[in-house]
Amino acid sequence: FNKRITDIHDFDPEVLSIFSRAALESIKKGGEDWVSMVPDFVDRIIKENCLFGYCGAPKSEEKQASEDPAEAAARAIEQK
């Protein structure tokens, strides 16, 4: 024990099964199951601002930009 890394004692075990990649993939596809994976206010912000490629309906391949926002976000998360 080096006193620099400590155990987390106050956490919600219900959220341990949530993975950011799964949430981002659901957002990208226009699904709604991601809403239960994020805090209450985050879903509203994502929907209102069309973040991570979510604009209420699945996008066709032709409409997607060359760099998908959800994939870029997932890559940024992986690099941390």
Handedness of CA 7, 9, 10, 14 (dihedral sign): positive
d(CA 3, CA 16): 25
For the chain, the domains span: 14-79
Q: pLDDT tens-digit profile of 66-80?
A: 567 777 777 767 765
Q: pLDDT tens-digit profile of 44-61?
A: 999 989 899 888 755 444
Which range (15-24, 32-41, 53-62) has the least confidence?
Answer: 53-62
C-alpha distance from residue 77 to each of 2, 12, 56, 63 (Å): 27, 21, 24, 25
d(CA 76, CA 80): 7
- Residue 18 tokens read as 């949530």
